Amino acid sequence: MPARLSPRLAAIVNALPLQPHSRVLEIGCGPGAAARAVAARLTTGHILAIDRSAGAIAQAEATAVAEIASGRMSVRQVAGEEFVLQPHEEPYDLVFAVRVGALDGRHPEAGQRMLQRIAMATTADARLFIDGGDPLRELPIPRS
């Protein structure tokens, strides 16, 4: 675990059902502390950390040089409700978001769009976790 991980983020990362080969998507990564902690637990897996803020993505890139160089982590500036897989990008099997208003009920219309994007970017048995539980709660991914 990176030394600067808050107790709350550490509890969240510890609660994720991570496997060394997991393909993880973090929505709203901010400066990337949780993503770096997840990357440290992956061997053949990968975490993509996304955020709508250019500043947050720049900060995440600057602090995750080793994780990005290892191929275990990448970052992308995009809003969760606009996220789509890029050509040849494999779908994700684990998604998490901490303090993302579209998923915690503060912005329900954006939340519906984001859930649709998550459904299109994940495997059939993927799982979605957000903060607000003890420490996480799982949300269903809508499958049409």
Give the SS3 label for residue 31: coil
Domains of the chain plus CATH, in order, are: 7-139 (3.40.50.150)
Structure tokens that stand for 133 in this block: 């539980």
pLDDT of residue 144: 73
pLDDT of residue 33: 96
pLDDT of residue 70: 97
- Partners of 110 in the beta sheet? none
User: Could you tell me which of 110, 58, 43, 55 has the C-alpha nearest to residue 81?
Assistant: 110
Cα-based torsion angle of the residue sequence 43, 76, 112, 115 in order, rounded to the nearest 10 degrees: -20
Q: Each residue's pLDDT tens digit in the chain (144 positions)?
A: 444 789 999 999 999 999 999 999 999 999 999 999 999 999 999 999 999 999 999 999 999 999 999 999 999 999 999 999 999 999 999 999 999 999 988 899 999 999 999 999 999 999 999 998 889 999 999 987
pLDDT of residue 133: 85
Question: Strands across the sheet with 92-97, in order?
Answer: 73-77, 46-51, 23-27, 92-97, 122-131, 136-139
